[in-house]
Each structure stands twice: as C-alpha cells, then as structure tokens.
Amino acid sequence: MDLLSIFWMVVKVIVIFAGVMTMVPILIWLERKVVADFQVRIGPNRLGPFGSMQPLADAVKLMMKEDITPAGVDKALYFMAPLLAMVPALLACAVIPFGPTPWARITDLNHSLLFSLALSSLGVYAIALGGWASNNKYSLMGGLRSASQMISYELGMGLSIIALLMVTGSLNLREIVDQQHLYGWNVLRAPTMFIAFLIYFICGIAETNRAPFDLAEAETELVAGFHTEYSSFKFAMFFMAEYVNMVIISALATTLFFGGWSGPGVSFGADVLQSLARGQNIETFIVPTLLGVFWFVLKTFIFLFIYMWLRASLPRFRYDQLMNFGWKRLVPISLANIFVMGMFVAWRSGWFSNGGAS
C-alpha cells in the first residue's frame, strides 16, 4: 500500500468517525424532543435554538464532574469496560458501505457482515465486566441480566440473517447492497423476508438494551444497572456507546434489508470500480456518491426514530417475559422462517422441477 492510499484511508477514517460521533449528540437531543412530544412535554428548550445545545452542556457537565472510583473495584476491568463498550462499536463502522463508491467506506471485506456482527456483539463483555468489576450488587445484577439477554437475542438475530443469506449468497455488505440496487430491496425479495427483518430489528433493540428491553439498566429495580458505579467520562463512554450501537444496528438494517445507499439519483452500482479503473471522469461520481450517502443516512434515521418511538410508547418487559419472548417466540419463528426460505430458494432454482437433482 503506497502513501497516497494510506493518506486516503486515514482521511476516510477521520470523516466517518467524525460523522458517527456527530450523530450521537444529535440523537440525544432528538430523542429528548421526540419523547417529550409523545408525552406532551416541552423537552430541552433553554440552550440554543429548540434546546439544541443541551447535549453540549451535558458533555461539559460530565467532563467537569469528579471521577469517583469506589473502594473494592477490580481497577483493571473497571477502567477497561467503558473502552470495550466504545471501541468495538466504532470499529464496526469500518465495513459499512455508506455510499456506492470506495470514498464512502473505509474498507471492503469479503466477510464484512460477519465482521460487523462480531464486533457489535463484543458489547456484552463490556457490560458484564463493568457490572462484575464495580463491586456492587445492582451492577452485578445488571451485568448478568445483560449477558443472558444478549446471548438469547443474538441467536434470533443470527437465525434471521441466515434466512437473508440464503437469498443473497454473500457475506459482503457491498455485494448485498449491489444486489438490491439491481433486484430490489431484500425486504420485498422473498415471501417471508419481512419476518426476517422484524426478528432482526427486535433482536437489535434487545442487543442495545433499549426500551422495552432495557432490563440491564432498569432504574426502578437496579438504580442504574451495570453502570451504577460509573461517573464522569467513563459513564459518558457507556452512554455514547449505546447510541453508537443504535446507529450500527440501524445502519445494518438499512444495508441488509432496505437497499443501503440505493435510491433515486444513484444510477450505478457494482460497476463503479471498473468505471474508475478505466479512468472515467471522477467528477461524474461525486453527485451520485453524495446522494447515496443522503439516502443511507435518511433510512438509518427512520430506524433510529423507531427506537425513540418504542421508548416513548411501550412499558418495560418483566425479566421472565423477556426471556420467554426470545426463546419461545423469536427462535422458533426464525427456524420456521429458515425452512420456508429454503423451500423458496429450492423452488426458485428449479430443484423441484428437476426431481431434486443438483
């Protein structure tokens, strides 16, 4: 890799990192306003237009608060947990195609879907370690709840994605989006794909510990759950990691089921690399690239709005209801969906008409 390639890689990392981190305070402010509107309240309205500077004031407050380390904590794990929550969530952004050209993604891996899911799943270790290392019974209970919850709902999420992979035949996120650009959104591409999407998104909400699945925090039962003993910047890292994970789950839903960057005005797909390699005018790709990023961000924000809508509308599950819903509802439905999807793929490939011959 030459110096120019390294330079552009660093530029893309900085731009995408800045974009994702910029979305965090926007989402914090937007969620407060949306939930306030749902509950017929005013919400933030003192700092800046419509209270838009409130997240900045909260950040300054958290930075100025005393950083307290309780007695009896396992200091190594206690300090590592917030980093383990934040860093993998940001790394998962590296393989998501935000637009149709190489400018709109950091790297292109053949197994990018597996890479992003593996990194986003590491958040359970941060929560479990943070809860255990805090030397607090409420934190420990929150960590244990989160660990069992994430393990349970990751199974349903993985099974829903298997149904998707049976149709697309690829673990490469870029190729999955390119297929949708040519053949239509995956959510409409097969009879039961909408069920796979619903299971994925429900499990994604549980993965991020958001209402109505926020049993790991459960203020009415566990004070603040796994981060009860965290303060100042360490608490802020847990807080930001939650929103970054929301962005990742929403971005993957957009990428896997709703066409990613495809939309009106984006007129090319998988052939863009060959076009650039042939030396065609690069300027002709700038507008479609920006449009692709626009459609991607718009779709992602729709899913983020649904996160906020659910928080304002639904009560929290009991813990037994949470586990029963995952194991007795979502997992059996996902397995049945895989069976139906297999029958559909076999029928489409002509397996039945050929008498089962390969």
Q: Report the pLDDT averaged over residues 11-27.
A: 87
Q: Report the pLDDT averaged over residues 116-134.
A: 85
Alpha helices in the chain (DSSP H): 3-38, 54-64, 75-91, 112-121, 123-133, 137-168, 173-183, 193-207, 219-222, 232-257, 272-277, 286-313, 319-325, 331-348
Residue 308 is predicted with a pLDDT of 93
pLDDT at residue 280 is higher than 70: no
Q: Name the more confident of 99 and 257.
A: 257
Which of 79-93, 159-173, 216-230 is predicted most confidently?
159-173
- The percentage of residues in the chain with a pLDDT greater than 70, rounded to a whole number, is 90
Residue 326 is predicted with a pLDDT of 92
Residue 147 is predicted with a pLDDT of 83
Residue 258 is predicted with a pLDDT of 95
Q: What is the mean pLDDT of the chain?
A: 85
pLDDT at residue 272 is higher than 60: no
Tens-digit pLDDT profile for residues 132-189: 888 888 888 888 888 888 888 999 999 999 999 999 999 999 999 988 888 889 999 8
Residue 257 is predicted with a pLDDT of 96
DSSP string, 77-105: HHHHHHHHHHHHHHHGGGG---SSSGGG-
126 in Cβ contact with 81 (< 8 Å): yes
Q: Report the pLDDT averaged over residues 206-216.
A: 84
CA 228, 28, 320 angle in degrees (round to 5)? Answer: 50
Domain ranges of the chain: 73-346
Q: Report the pLDDT averaged over residues 210-223.
A: 75
pLDDT at residue 246 is higher than 70: yes
Q: Report the pLDDT averaged over residues 42-63.
A: 88
- The percentage of residues in the chain with a pLDDT greater than 90, rounded to a whole number, is 32
pLDDT at residue 268 is higher than 60: no
Q: Is residue 2 left, alpha or beta, with left meaning phi > 0 and alpha meaning psi from -120 to 50?
A: beta
- Where residue 298 falls among pLDDT bands split at 50, 70, 90? very high
Residue 203 is predicted with a pLDDT of 94
Residue 129 is predicted with a pLDDT of 87
